[in-house]
Amino acid sequence: MNRCPVELWQKIFANACTDGGHTARALSLVSRATRDVAEPVRFYTVSLTSEAQVLSFGRLLGTRSITPIIHHLFLSVKMHFEGTDSGRARYMAIYNILINVVTAAAPNVITLMVHATRYGIVDPALAFPRLRDLAIDGFVPVPPALAAPCFPSLRRIHVDGGPNVGSNFWRELGRAAPSLTDIRLSDVTRDFTNLLAVMIPIVIQMPAGVVRHSLLASPTELLHARRCAAAVPALTNVVVVPPFIRSEDPFGYSWNARVNIMTLLRYDCSQQDLEELAAASAQGHGTGRLVMLPEQEDYTREEAYNDWLDVVGGSDGPWRMGDAINNAATV
């Protein structure tokens, strides 16, 4: 080990420590020399998936004089609230540690995924200058007095849990992440009709007259679409995952967006119109793509974690399109 420069060892360790912290912990136990060399890259990837892990990591942060550099962070902690004094104290302790972890990671984090965790952990009032990939359970409103974009480098975002995709969503997203190119919306509900009205004419840039339904082609809706698209000028890929419809509740909250889009588009579109729409999306020609993936009942922690590891490894994670791109906008 002494024959190899420290800088080279650190590069090797950095490439090896992409599994959420397991390899980094193992390296720190090999020897004192290995631990010292691996220390700068020890926290490059961090995953916290239990209350016990959060409390332990909080204690570790409290013993360090220098804030660790975190490049990739995964948080999926179901916080259990108990009505007792001790239960409330534990809940607040975990919540505050999560806030501190995100705050510590903000200056250097490149990939951040928050799954099934307390809403509001990611505060847009913080600056995330290097963040490129973000997955969250809900998009937090951006403060009106925000002086500069909080996600200036963000390219891809995944919003899970029935996001509201009205005009405020697009406007605030544009203010927070002006360089955004890819968005995935999971578990969309009735707002999906509005999403189509906004995104189809702009992102896909269809030939004039392809979709003539009044809900999508009225002057008011087209003006609304242009305004929303202006908020996210770099957006080119939209991936939508409708919620899984339960047979016992066909008209309830788990409303089938796929059925609705088919009804909406075919109401006044010929088969040729739909084929032209799909071709315009799939071929690109400098335009964007709208892809609807199969319905999904639940986006599990395991799926979210594997997607995070996929992104850390240089792949697309939740933004992968795969074979679906060949059927983009086909309904």
Residue pLDDT, tens place only, 121-180: 787 778 899 999 999 887 666 666 666 788 999 999 998 865 555 557 777 788 888 899
pLDDT for position 166? 56
Residues 76-95 have a mean pLDDT of 85
How many domains, the chain? 2
pLDDT for position 124? 73
pLDDT for position 129? 95
Domain membership flag for residue 2: yes
In which band, very low, low, confident or very high, does the pLDDT at 205 lie, cut at 50, 70 and 90? low
pLDDT for position 6? 74
Domain membership flag for residue 183: yes
Question: Are residues 309 and 187 part of one domain?
Answer: yes
Question: Are residues 159 and 38 part of one domain?
Answer: no
Describe the strand order of the beta sheet including 182-186 as a list of residue ranges: 45-48, 72-75, 111-114, 133-136, 156-159, 182-186, 237-241, 289-292
pLDDT for position 210? 47
Domain membership flag for residue 114: no
Domain membership flag for residue 213: yes
> Looking at the whole model, is its pTM more than 0.95?
no
**Nearest one of 137, 145, 203 to 164, comparing CA atoms:** 137
Residues 205-216 have a mean pLDDT of 47
Domain membership flag for residue 161: yes
Domain membership flag for residue 319: yes
What whole-number percentage of the chain has pLDDT above 90? Answer: 22
Question: Are residues 326 and 184 part of one domain?
Answer: yes
Residue 16, domain extent:
1-42
Domain membership flag for residue 185: yes
Domain membership flag for residue 231: yes
pLDDT for position 327? 43
Q: For all residues of the chain together, what is the average pLDDT?
A: 73
| Separation of first and last alpha carbons in the chain | 58
Could you tell me the two tokens for 123?
Answer: 């505060």
> For the chain, how big is the Rg over CA atoms in Å?
22
